[in-house]
Structure 1
Amino acid sequence: MSNVQMNSHHVSSASHFKRVLTLKDLVIYGIAFMTPIAPAYIYGFAAQSTGGMLPLAYLIAMVAMMFSAYSYGRMAAAFPISGSTYTYTQRAIHPHLGFFAGWAMFMDYVLVPLIVFMVGGSYANALVPSIPYWIWVLIIAGIITTVNILGIAMAAKTNQLLVLFMGIVVVVFVIFCIKTIVGGDGASALVSITPFFQSEKFVMTAIISGAAMACFSFLGFDSITTLSEEAVNPKDDIWKAAILSCLIGGVIFIVQAYVAQLVWPDVNSFSSADTALFDVAKAAGGAILATLYTVAIIVSSLTAGLTGQASASRLMFSMGRDEVLPKKFFTRLHPKYKTPINNILLMCSMSIVGAIVLPINFVAELMNFGGLTGFMFVNLSVIVYYYFRKKEKKFFRYLLIPGLGFLICFYLFINLSPMTLKVGLIWMVIGLIYALITTKGFKKLPPSIRNL
């Protein structure tokens, strides 16, 4: 019996989800997680750190993520179950290494809804100051958690509407920026090489550091693979959705950064680096466009929160099913909606507490650690599983592409800030201690592996 058949049998013999997601749903899900308006979160600081060449940094980050998206797709075809990075590393390389891959991505997935609660609550409070920040956090958390409990089909329909709205806002923003540029209020010409290359300011280390930062905007395409057990055709659709969402998202980010750079060439003159794109929006379309952009940020907190919470809850479900987390708690599905209700409620509680007590910059710094660590594990999984274990000696598919994906992610990883690396490593040490205890010194294997 093949690995895929055995995995399918394992899934069918356990609690199962409803298969309702099409390719379109999966692509929208990935874009919703990344959010079309993601550059607003990092634009000011990233534009300044790259010397006004953020579009180049985004282009490098997109290429890097495309390699990893390909690897996620190959592993999803081999193991069409919901554990994503955790499952792929576990089955392809080693069961215990799979736990550490899942542990790293777990940090990433936990932080996504937490940071969007923060961002959404902050901008909603700025828009309606009479309602306190913590009340906005509870409102956003309540909406996201309710939709996720009602089921992935409901979440998918909600995401379609919200992504459509954000897409419209991005289009309006780009149109107003183009109008400003052509009208002579911004750069001298609509077509310019300066957002990608300025010889007098070009510093490779700064561009690479900016690309590492830009990876923040791409975190999310990988979450598509956590929905393999809810996809109608996971073997074909998961890999297509991962690559398409990464490509589409990258183009959206590059276009926004490009026109913003031309509208506001002096990246060191923003009123605040935290709200740089709002300065650009106001310059291009006045207070109305700036307000619309603020609303879109709040909406982005809903889409990213929906997808982040859903992905984390399904990752915990898979780890619970394999008994690397307490099985009884983490594998409980809602009797009617077939959603991992305990995991969703746990995620909600953690995100609310974190959003109220933690500083946003601390949370933002940690997200790329988990994401890039997971991407490296998955690229390695493709090489080990296909090229060495299955002996499919297709150099380009199963060695060169994932190898480049690993090397690029590793290079971006070592360019993260020292504080990010320090805290991330502490998180991994905590996981090591937990694994040593639960596996009795790595002597006990997960049931899913023992039964293969």
Structure 2
Amino acid sequence: MSNVQSNTTQGNVAPHFKRVLTLKDLVIYGIAFMTPIAPAYIYGFAAQSTGGMLPLAYLVAMVAMMFSAYSYGRMAAAFPIGGSTYTYTQRAINAHLGFFAGWAMFMDYVLVPLIVFMVGASYANALIPTIPYWVWVLLIASIITFVNILGIGIAAKANQVLVIFMGIVVVIFVIFCMKAVVGEDGGSSLISITPFFNGDTFAMTAIISGAAMACFSFLGFDSITTLSEEAVNPKEDIWKAAILSCLIGGIIFIVQAYVAQLVWPDVNSFSSADTALFDIANAAGGALLATLYTVAIIASTFTAGITGQASASRLMFSMGRDEVLSKKFFTHLHPKYKTPVYNILLLCSISIVGAIFLPINVVAELMNFGGLAGFMLVNLSVIVYYYFRKKEKKFIRYFLIPALGFLICLYLFINLSPITLKVGFIWLAIGFVYALFKTKGFKKYPPSFKEM
């Protein structure tokens, strides 16, 4: 199949992106999407549900995500084009199943900028109450959308600055937590097995449920693959960036959860589970550290918002190019900046409305449904494409690793809350009805599939 950039017909050049992203840019992009400060979003409730063993839940989630990151990397090497989960499932397994993969991940990617608008506006409103919540939503949405319209190069530079800032805040937080623990009991108190295993509260079902919740913090490493057409060296850099961002992000999350547990062992005594890490920051470093952490949370909404909106717009571009969505609308690129401007504006509008009217807990839970569904399909794609279709009988590389990734994600998936599963399957049912009419009873295939 010819690359989209070389697909020309009589001087009519197909829409294409600029290749500007290096390996470093891609790794930062993945970490920016996940955000180094992601534990702040779920810490209180997740720590309570795991009986004070959130570091263990994060470790389980990281292992699960590493298997999936490997599979994303293998599929990105085989198909270095945009579309990520949608593209890989379509090319490796079935065109129609590819649509459902994209439909599931679309829910995930759309909800990312939506939830960060909500979180950012909430904390900004708490910091400056005189400015209403809805004004903060509009302000954050405008900045994120403007940056994405200017181009992925500008977005990458903005992410780099913000990720460095959040990284510094995380380091400061960890240092203050360690200082607080050492001040109480001496240096030996920094080493404890309790955050990973507490015999009094350990329950495997609670850890697995916590790991499913912890997957929320990892959602984003997969978005790197949506930028394959903007990467300088996609075949080499995409898979490396997916694995590195997942590993680095996981270590950052585990360290934060570990020191936080040492500072505040009683996970049932937070003033509010929603702001648990702020209680811990205040206990470890006073009001100054708590305020700094709040500012970092607001900064994280910009990195996650920029990357989430960019990824969703590229997914829509790929689906539009395959004519499973409106080609004229979804493949339109800005004549100067070469960005899918209509998609970006549409996502901005959806996120603003959702941020104003939807509850944050529902949005957070639904993100895991789309993410885990997509991860399972990508793991399955590696097995089908490499092991069976190409007959590369490398059992560990092309069967065992992706199979373990699939099974782990499936186990986490079935442990999602009942309401999350119900709403998620309703979303898939809507997609089924849409696809049924769009493909005339699943008889029509996208043009790109016919060319394979």
Please indicate the TM-score interval, normalised by the length of the shorter structure.
Answer: over 0.9
CA distance in 1, matches of 2:3, 2:303: 34
Q: Which residue of 2 aligns with 1:388?
A: 388
Aligned residue type for 2:428: M
1:300 is matched by which residue type in structure 2?
S
Question: Once the 2 structures are TM-superposed, how far is the Cα of residue 362 of structure 1 from its aligned partner?
Answer: 1.1
Q: Report deviation, 1:187.
A: 10
Q: Does 1:417 align with 2:417?
A: yes
Q: Given the alignment of the two structures, is residue 16 of structure 1 paired with residue 16 of structure 2, yes or no?
A: yes
Q: Which residue of 1 aligns with 2:328?
A: 328
AA partner of residue 64 (structure 2)? A
> CA 1:381–1:142 in structure 2 vs 1: closer, same or farther (change >3 Å)?
same
Any runs of at least 4 consecutive aligned residues in structure 1 with deviations exceeding 3 A, and if so which?
Answer: 5-13, 185-188
- What corresponds to 2:219 in structure 1? 219
Q: Give the unaligned 5+ runs of structure 2.
A: none
Provide the residue aligned with 2:378 in structure 1.
378
Q: What SS does the aligned partner of 1:189 have?
A: helix
> C-alpha displacement at 1:14, in angstroms?
2.1
Query: What are the equivalent positions in structure 2 for 1:140-289 lying under 5 Å apart?
Result: 140-184=140-184, 189-289=189-289
User: What is the CA deviation profile of residues 17-59 of structure 1, one whole-angstrom value per residue up to 9, with x for unaligned ones?
Assistant: 0000000000000000000000000000000000000000000
Would the aligned equivalents of 2:73 and 2:238 in 1 still touch at CA under 8 Å? yes
Q: Which amino acid aligns with 1:225?
A: T
> What does 1:344-355 align with in structure 2 at a 5 Å threshold?
344-355=344-355
Mark the runs of 5 or more structure 1 residues left unpaired by the alignment: none
Contact 2:4-2:16 at 8 Å conserved across structures: no
For the 8 Å contact 2:5–2:16, the answer to whether it is kept is no
Q: Aligned letter for 1:275? A: T
Amino acid aligned to 1:266 = D
Per the TM alignment, residue 189 of structure 1 is displaced from its structure 2 partner at its CA by: 0.4
Q: Which amino acid aligns with 2:28?
A: I
Superposition deviation, residue 9 in structure 1 = 5.0
Distance 1:225 1:324 in 2: 20
1:65 is matched with which residue? 65
Where 1:416 maps in the other structure, the secondary structure is coil
Please give the secondary structure, in 1, of the residue aligned with 2:197.
coil
Aligned to 1:442: 442
Check 1:300–1:192 CA distance in 2 against 1; reply closer, same or farther (3 A cut): same
CA contact (8 A) 1:221 1:242 kept: yes
- TM-score (normalised: structure 2): 0.98
184-193 or 273-282: bigger deviation: 184-193
Counterpart of 1:338 in 2: which secondary structure?
A: coil
Residue 267 of structure 1 aligns to a residue in which SS?
A: coil
Give CA-to-partner distance per residue, 1:211-260, whole Å, 9 cap, x none: 00000000000000000000000000000000000000000000000000
C-alpha distance in 1 between matches for 2:326 and 2:64: 35
Report the counterpart of residue 119 of structure 1 in structure 2.
119
Distance in 2, matches of 1:107 and 1:292, equals: 32
Displacement of 1:185 in angstroms is: 7.0
Distance 1:108 1:9 in 2: 31
> What CA RMSD, in Å, does the superposition of the two structures yield over aligned residues?
1.3
Say whether the 8 Å CA contact 1:187–1:262 is kept in structure 2: no
CA distance in 2, matches of 1:428, 1:384: 23
Residues 186 and 264 of structure 1 are in contact (CA less than 8 Å); yes or no, is this contact kept in structure 2?
Answer: no
CA distance, structure 1, for counterparts of residue 315 and residue 185 of structure 2: 49
Change (3 A) 1:188 1:46: farther
1 CA distance for matches of 2:250 and 2:225? Answer: 19
Identify if the C-alpha distance between structure 1 residues 31 and 356 changes in structure 2 by more than 3 Å, giving closer, same or farther.
same
Q: Quick one: distance in 1 between partners of 2:3 and 2:365?
A: 39
For 1:436 and 1:79, the matched residues in 2 are separated by 27
Identical residues among aligned pairs (%): 83
Secondary structure at 1:183's aligned position in 2?
helix
CA drift of 1:443 comes to 0.4
The answer on whether the counterparts of 1:209 and 1:412 sit within 8 Å (CA) in structure 2 is: yes
Q: Which residue does 2:135 correspond to in 1?
A: 135
Give 1:7 shift.
Answer: 6.8
- Residues 180 and 186, structure 1, Cα contact 8 Å, conserved in 2: no
Structure 2: how far apart are the matches of 1:20 and 1:11?
Answer: 21
SS of residue matched to 2:189:
coil
Maintained 8 Å contact 2:86/2:101: yes
Q: Secondary structure at the match of 1:317?
A: helix
| Whole-angstrom distance in 2 between the partners of 1:72 and 1:299 | 28
Residue 188 (structure 1) shift: 7.0
What letter is aligned with 1:273? A
Question: In the alignment, residue 263 of structure 1 is paired with which amino acid?
Answer: V
Native 8 Å contact 2:53 2:196 kept in 1: yes
Match of 1:75 in 2: 75
Aligned residue pairs total 449
